[in-house]
Structure 1
């Protein structure tokens, strides 16, 4: 019975040893055993790692033959520090020399371990080639990204969860009014910067209401918003921005805010909008804008923002153009436009319909006596002599007046027609210029 148990125990031990040898042979990490500085065992991974054809090329060789000279001294110190059975070194990076003349970066752990009836050193060798390749690729990608971002005309700022700037590219420094060669926003908050944030309507924008704050709070990506900055140098820049999380899957991710300077574009667009709605000669509202304002007033609530419409036509203006030339005629129109604006209130709107015809939208609800006084003032201002290029020119105007009611049902075209008709009635009643000819629909001429 005792002999059977011993035989079974020996068989179990042999089976366990065989399993261990199989595991060591097939592990992807290199396993090397050295004794007194001489290699006594290597697994298949070590053979491949050192570019050997088989284990016989390695076994019996000095261990230092396969270690780069720069790593030998530190390796020997680690070996000397391992005293008792089971003691192990810390994972350490080192360089090995392969049989093909190349080197390979590895991480090793040495363990003092029994080898047959004595102690030897077992070394686990992990090849760092793939890791180093990946790290190099990542460094290259980061350098490429950094180079690209630094060359962008668009500002890019990374802001952490506490609202502090982690990085800002040169374009962001330039847009914010900092010197890209000396300025560094890292560690600052937006509140620390020498600028004031503005919303799209040029109102002060608290940092907590800036879209990037919402991105940090909710993770939401926000694109195409417009905001402004008043810089320390007195410049106001308008920016079109977007903000998103740097790492969307990370709840603690920083946010990246990118923005383009649209100051010139915004100014150009406003200029185009102004040109599209204003008369190029006089600067007054053009026909399109003045009629659009009238249409808006007629479509409003019971409290009409416009109470009265004046249609103004210059008498005998064609004679000025024919006898003195169009250049003087243009000067006359410009002066008339200026006088009209001075004679009216700030809340009234005056526009040029074309040629020598003007339209005025009076706001509020003036009393009849006040309206008559205003019309007289307009006529008086326009009748003052004009000096243009040495010529003294007297200009008279015919003014048609039509009132709007709270229950107004006329279209803008109908109102314009009635005012025009009232103006022609005024022309035919020049002998009674201070009187008023009443027309249907509360229309009269002055």
Structure 2
């Protein structure tokens, strides 16, 4: 070998030694079972003060007893120089007795002319700590999700269920022990329906939209027909589990809003209906009249009836409001029964009622309808042991094809017509009289 070749070899050796000295992985060379070299990283991994604390010790001194036999077996199978064992996870024992998780590769080599083994050791302490932390976090969040009252499910890109928490199964009516993981969401024992009660196509499900577009969906309301026959309403949110990854599964959280929805509908009903009779209240019936007048001649409502009970004040004054309330309830029921389903009747207040007749009745039919209403309301009423007879005055105003009156004008005209129909008597005053009590209209 010439001087140039020798210089090149020396330079290469220096670079190798520098690499070995500064690599973050531990390097350990052992010959005949004893340590002959360790780099600084190996000194750090084993918790020694210097390499001198390790040189000359048996290699098995630093290998956990559970892993030593397998290690010796691996290096025994290395028969050719340069042969390497497969990467293997094992535990080393530091000088202070603590275990260190590592991944090692052993290579058959030569050391100062003798057969030796070089072990490359990668410290797994940080990785194992991160994995343990991730497992702890996963267990924590799994516990949290399992305790939620809100349903949570995860669906893969093909629409197959990856996970669902207990609340999700309960809301959807799925048995706790049912094996549904891996099922397509369309195969779950629950039928999704829209707000009109029609089955919701799979392509219209909010999760399908999120998986197709990546866009989140918030507060989407739909119904669920469960396998046990019950129907619930849910509000759900959908998003990608990892929004930065277009191939991410989707996660949906959903809450049972059945009671809330029923309560809301009840409040809406109470706001538009008379508490005593259940009829449309003044606000609703006048709103419907206003809508009819705004239809520019195409209105379904063609005739308005203003109905006032005769002699009702005497009932209140002599028998009390409880019996008066019963009379109003019976009259309301009779009005509903005497009218068609498409007609609307409401209570304006006190003993005043307004009827909106739909369709285009022949004028010859209107007198018959009025007579039917009078006859129905004139039938005796039994209230708390009292037999009462109540008649009614009915004012009629018809809506023309090009009606330009306001709701107030129509109501006023019907009111005047009702007074013209009312028989004279001490209980019947001119327009503008003080209305009677029992004004329970909402």
TM-score category, normalised to shorter length? over 0.9
Residue equivalent to 1:173: 169
2:293 and 2:114 map into 1 onto residues whose CA distance is: 108
Which residues of 2 match residues 59-208 of structure 1 at below 5 A?
59-180=55-176, 182-208=177-203
Are the counterparts in 1 of residues 296 and 403 from structure 2 also a CA contact under 8 Å? Answer: no
Which residues of 2 match residues 233-248 of structure 1 at below 5 A?
233-248=228-243
1:49 corresponds to 2:45: yes
How far did residue 429 of structure 1 move?
7.8
Residue equivalent to 2:287: 292
How far did residue 301 of structure 1 move?
4.0
Are the counterparts in 1 of residues 272 and 283 from structure 2 also a CA contact under 8 Å? Answer: yes
Residue equivalent to 1:229: 224
| Superposition TM-score, scaled by structure 1 size | 0.93
How far did residue 250 of structure 1 move?
2.3
Residue equivalent to 1:406: 401
1:69 and 1:398 map into 2 onto residues whose CA distance is: 106
1:389 corresponds to 2:384: yes
1:212 corresponds to 2:194: no
1:194 and 1:36 map into 2 onto residues whose CA distance is: 68
1:35 and 1:360 map into 2 onto residues whose CA distance is: 109
Are the counterparts in 2 of residues 173 and 183 from structure 1 also a CA contact under 8 Å? Answer: no
| Superposition TM-score, scaled by structure 2 size | 0.94
| Shift >6 Å, 4+ stretches | none
Gaps of 5+ in 1: 431-446
How far did residue 428 of structure 1 move?
5.2
**SS, match of residue 293 in structure 1:** helix
1:252 corresponds to 2:253: no
2:423 and 2:384 map into 1 onto residues whose CA distance is: 32
1:38 corresponds to 2:21: no
Q: Which string of whole-angstrom CA distances, capped at 9 and with x for unpartnered residues, describes residues 63-115 of structure 1? A: 01111101100000001010001100000001000001111000000011222
Give the alignment partner of residue 351 of structure 1, picking from 346, 370, 377.
Answer: 346
Are the counterparts in 1 of residues 174 and 189 from structure 2 also a CA contact under 8 Å? Answer: no
1:169 and 1:184 map into 2 onto residues whose CA distance is: 13
Residue equivalent to 2:429: none
Are the counterparts in 1 of residues 104 and 119 from structure 2 also a CA contact under 8 Å? Answer: yes
Which residues of 2 match residues 368-387 of structure 1 at below 5 A?
368-387=363-382
**SS, match of residue 300 in structure 1:** coil
How many residues align? The count is 425
Gaps of 5+ in 2: 426-442
2:401 and 2:30 map into 1 onto residues whose CA distance is: 106
Are the counterparts in 1 of residues 296 and 402 from structure 2 also a CA contact under 8 Å? Answer: no
